Amino acid sequence: MNAQELLNSLLELQNQGHNLSKLEVTYRHDYDSDIVGVVDIEEGYYDEKTNSILESIVLITNTEEV
């Protein structure tokens, strides 16, 4: 999935009458895994050639520093 597909899915939910500010974002590895809450989003990795073009975003489930 790319960021535009994610945005389109969210906008579709909103157009169906759902209030996005009341929807919790969660993550699950597969259909049989436990659900984990997403607490943050950050920049992922940049292009290999110039290191200046953002190519991914990352959903964070735990913001505690290790």
- Structure token digits, residue 18: 């759902």
Q: Which domain holds residue 45?
A: 24-66
Q: What is the pLDDT of residues 19-43, one digit of tens each?
A: 999 999 999 999 999 999 999 999 9
CA distance linking residue 58 with residue 13, whole number of Å: 21
Q: Is residue 13 in some structural domain?
A: no
The answer, as to whether pTM is greater than 0.85, is no
Please indicate, yes or no, if residue 59 is contained in any of the structural domains.
yes
Backbone φ and ψ for 38, nearest 5 degrees, come out as: -90, 130
pLDDT at 45: 96
Domain count, the chain: 1
- Which is nearest to 20 in space by CA: 34, 31, 6, 33? 6
Q: Rounded distance, CA 22 to CA 18, Å?
A: 8
Assigned token pair, 36: 């984990």
